[in-house]
Structure 1
């Protein structure tokens, strides 16, 4: 074992000498004494004296070739902001695409784009991007080596203008929108991106090699910025919301809510965000679904405070922001507290946040520091005696404090070492949780190989019980070249539990994964690009050490010359697998059959006014005649530059799907049921863009899942089924979730917004399985439902600008 470790380390570090990292381009800019007018004319004296670049290179479709059109970019700066001016020449200027969209639509638009990506920390790990479309729609995002976070919004200026030679864009990015190290002389990472949409041609200034993992690490350098200091970065965003709400069989109720968001720049590197008396009433509804499995449903975060600038808090993989203001800790205990004739009349799904605060930034030595704290009030369920009418309350979660601390040291070349800790205290619920994690990544100088991993320890006290658990994860990867691979090993013991403030679907696992990738990004034959991946995953139960599953997975994605694409996926488990979680009782397992599945997804060219995505899939198990098939059909229409419509239809049918049903009184016997599950979902989306600042959007979704119970079985200890059982409960399930979100938004000033939102929410369940789709829908629309109409005003106040106006 020792010899193998030494060999791996020698291989890893030998590439430092044999491979050279790509040389970065340098852009030297000058200070300007006069700020240019942001009008997309580029006629100011600032631009006549500004440094410029035009040596761009193709990113796609011909990775590394010369661009088909000329691009000139100029930059300047002063004491207040950074300025970018770009002339985007086009030999067919009358064909420039200019679809409108909502803010942050970005590359989803059928429009030409231009963006600048800046990383003042020069560590190849993060960046902020400012993008403008040819129709003037802004997008800003905080990017990591893995993904873009479009939920981050900054206040900055831009303007575009179409000409007979192409189009132009001007940007003003105030320092209040940036964080940078305290240094007299700044060296930033920078790259520029242009998309010529009708050609699907992407070009960058510093070459972005598609055969290298990531793009932030392939930026150029920005030189010349000296002696800049941000003005006081203090902004207030007060809000006022008024609600008109109605539940079925009840009269309308009204509510008036107010609160305040404060953003304070402690210095040029660190920002403090505070949210006082938060209100999330206008946040888009979750896509609820029927969950028959042993694990909770994971929902994406949609609240802006918990999506903006949250990159640091992902370190260690122990933070799930939906826990803050999430499900009460003792919500499911209410039913155990009922006496005779009592029912649960109300049991809130969410706790009420009182406030939330986060601090984040990075020192000039590359140390990132993040801290978040939130508090919620007491949450109660209501219990009613159906005979006497008396009511009482049950505390499902007492006043609780959540906090997380993150330290993240960057070493350059994507390398870092981080420490993270989460802590939750709910005294009246007698609950405490403390989870500590570390994460690291080290790459060689050529950034062709990487060694990464994390480790975590959890300590949870719930009433009288205390448990300590651990998890670790190791990964060795080749991250450069046509051929890449990942070797992954992870262990999670049976007591590891980060779920008070994080999300873990299951613990007590031992996993080994081997992944191979072979990608061709240069066009050839009928293809623009072709990517392939083979993955082998082996899972074991950790304690006791028992085999769980072995899976072979294949994925091929082809993009054709006409910009349609085809994705083929397949999976095969060559030996029976064991599910240790579906029985819901520790020490039991369910033996699943050898199975296989495949899917085929076709997408037409999304530049067309009518585009279509179609997916078909089939799964087959070798016992109990288990099979499943599903189809997805998603057309989208563009009617001019301002109206967009889409409809997603999905149907899935699971035949003979065995699953947990119940246990006997002393949990010595476990009953499974054979069932057919049919699920249909329809999601309609529409956007009407009035102008760059105002829009009307609609999202309506109906989800219907019908479960018909058939034969019952008694689970044996070896995981097989015994048909000799006295279980006879045939409770079929007919579950529906129907939501509508209709919103008008008007950005009447930078950072200030007026929104009018109507939300409708229906969730209903019964045991009817004999209805067709339209009869079922008609019944659902007559079910109990919740309607909310809200008007919300947010006004952005910049202390520095306000101070200037008052002088």
Structure 2
């Protein structure tokens, strides 16, 4: 006699939903809560917290736990952090008491210099409390400015990244530079610092009385000691948003942000010789503008763009036959740049980026191509992360015709480092040939518990000119990684077709299949 197992359909659906929810809705382990207080008076941003009456009534956060060298133990030095806000500014102060202030270490005074080998203080803000996106601010005992944007839950990248960043794909964009102030002082007590961050620098939800994710980190260099307010295991860093604490009672302003940056250039050369004289004149005008449509949606616009003030690239030496990667540093493209990142990333830089903004304004041989103008919309709308970009470049004789570049990105983020999204790019030549190139990709990530994550993407492009058929114009990657206190384990398979051709993207090499398996022991 045969036996049959009968499964009722509604109960099966309920079971699947329950199991899936238990995977992606893994909550943070942090039980740390604090409050933000309305400022009764405006602090003087000079680094002197102990003698500033504006900070006297603000309760201090004092409980810090070691990550190293003695994980889980109480910090050996006292740290006091206070948080308050006004109608326009978010303030943070820290007093880093030190039993041997003469031993305070300062190794670098450049903006965004790594803070892991110097006495320093950093904090992270998860303004949407989505455990996916955040802002990092930091300084050392001499008051340098350190800031970055975190995306993708802070996976795949240490917060000690140097200025020559591997770009935005590694979830940590150190090249983002915001407008804010910090000052520090050193005294017999140790050292202290004050941060003043305008709300217009941050992006956040529109509701009042918000809760943000937050965490604080202090490094005591001579002891090689790193301590956190919300404890972090040794395999993670401050950018692990899943482990951030919570700050409550933040009443944010709802004002719109408008920033206009015009420029004008003029030049006159007069040449005089015995026979005649000549005068050459040249001038140029342009404008950049940033408009906060809402507190979470920003529109950037540019006309006759000038990038003369952009930081120069770090020098690299190429010892192989593959392309070098230079990260984007032009301010116009940097805010929320991680939203557009789809591809295969490594610790040393991406092997694949479906959209690489440095393709805009640079010819095939590295020649400068003037940008006529364009716009860029990024942020959150109806619960979705959205990014749109449209740029037009001028024609350059014997280099390139005028081109129009377009990008559309849509991404849904879920708890526990889970997300899925879509991106499409288009380059349309405005010359007589009407040449165009398009690329399409889907990507996703699934967080399983707190230690495991599955990630992947699949992409298709138009083939290069002269290639019949599109069988080789593809790329995809699948990866599983697990990060525990004892081991980091990673397994990845990626494949790139010989005709894969994202013309406003970056591909290190074509026509390969690659298997990566790595185990790191701590």
Relative to the length of structure 1, the TM-score reads 0.53
**Cα deviation per residue 1:51-72 (whole Å; 9 max; x = unaligned)?**
3211111222333222221001
Q: Is the 8 A contact 1:487 1:514 kept in 2?
A: yes
Please point out which of 358, 373, 379 is paired with 1:355.
Answer: 373
Q: Is the 8 A contact 2:30 2:231 kept in 1?
A: no
- Change in Cα spacing, 1:132 to 1:297, as seen in structure 2 (3 Å) is closer
In structure 2, what is the equivalent of residue 95 of structure 1? Answer: 103
1:86 paired with 2:110, answer no
- Change in Cα spacing, 1:259 to 1:496, as seen in structure 2 (3 Å) is same
Cα drift, residue 16 of structure 1:
5.5
Q: Is the 8 A contact 1:430 1:463 kept in 2?
A: no
Separation in 2, partners of 1:210, 1:371:
38
In structure 1, what is the equivalent of residue 411 of structure 2? Answer: 408
- Change in Cα spacing, 1:448 to 1:98, as seen in structure 2 (3 Å) is closer
Cα drift, residue 183 of structure 1:
1.8
- Change in Cα spacing, 1:415 to 1:20, as seen in structure 2 (3 Å) is closer
In structure 1, what is the equivalent of residue 248 of structure 2? Answer: 223
Q: Is the 8 A contact 1:116 1:190 kept in 2?
A: yes
Q: 2:397 aligns to what SS in structure 1? A: strand
- Pairing of 1:672-711 with structure 2 (within 5 A): none
Separation in 2, partners of 1:489, 1:98:
42
Separation in 2, partners of 1:434, 1:106:
38
Separation in 2, partners of 1:14, 1:277:
49
1:397 paired with 2:400, answer yes
Q: Is the 8 A contact 2:30 2:243 kept in 1?
A: no
- Structure with more relative contact order (C-alpha pairs < 8 Å, separation 6 or more): 2
Q: Is the 8 A contact 2:457 2:478 kept in 1?
A: yes
Cα drift, residue 312 of structure 1:
0.7
In structure 2, what is the equivalent of residue 437 of structure 1? Answer: 441
In structure 1, what is the equivalent of residue 176 of structure 2? Answer: 152
Cα drift, residue 361 of structure 1:
1.1
Q: When the two structures are aligned, how many residues end up with a matched partner?
A: 465
**Cα deviation per residue 1:186-218 (whole Å; 9 max; x = unaligned)?**
121101111222333222111121235862332
Separation in 2, partners of 1:75, 1:299:
37
In structure 2, what is the equivalent of residue 503 of structure 1? Answer: 506
Cα drift, residue 35 of structure 1:
2.9
Q: Is the 8 A contact 2:313 2:326 kept in 1?
A: no
Q: 1:198 aligns to what SS in structure 2? A: helix
Q: 1:52 aligns to what SS in structure 2? A: coil
1:478 paired with 2:502, answer no
Unmatched runs of 5 consecutive residues or more in structure 2: 1-15, 158-171, 270-278, 344-352
Q: 1:49 aligns to what SS in structure 2? A: coil
- Pairing of 1:110-189 with structure 2 (within 5 A): 111-144=118-151, 145=154, 146-147=156-157, 148-189=172-213
Please point out which of 276, 296, 310 is paired with 1:269.
Answer: 296
Please point out which of 518, 522, 525 is paired with 2:521.
Answer: 518
Q: 1:65 aligns to what SS in structure 2? A: coil
Q: Is the 8 A contact 2:28 2:243 kept in 1?
A: no
CA RMSD across the alignment: 3.2
In structure 1, what is the equivalent of residue 459 of structure 2? Answer: 456
**Cα deviation per residue 1:19-74 (whole Å; 9 max; x = unaligned)?**
98523311122223433332333345542332321111122233322222100111
Cα drift, residue 460 of structure 1:
4.4
In structure 1, what is the equivalent of residue 219 of structure 2? Answer: 195
Q: In terms of Rg, which structure is larger?
A: 1
In structure 2, what is the equivalent of residue 322 of structure 1? Answer: 358
Separation in 2, partners of 1:493, 1:40:
56
- Change in Cα spacing, 1:183 to 1:490, as seen in structure 2 (3 Å) is same
Structure holding more strand per residue: 1
Q: Is the 8 A contact 1:473 1:489 kept in 2?
A: yes
- Change in Cα spacing, 1:441 to 1:288, as seen in structure 2 (3 Å) is closer
Mean Cα deviation higher: 87-96 or 465-474:
465-474
**Cα deviation per residue 1:739-775 (whole Å; 9 max; x = unaligned)?**
xxxxxxxxxxxxxxxxxxxxxxxxxxxxxxxxxxxxx
Unmatched runs of 5 consecutive residues or more in structure 1: 1-8, 246-251, 332-347, 382-395, 520-807
Mean Cα deviation higher: 161-170 or 302-311:
302-311
Cα drift, residue 243 of structure 1:
7.7
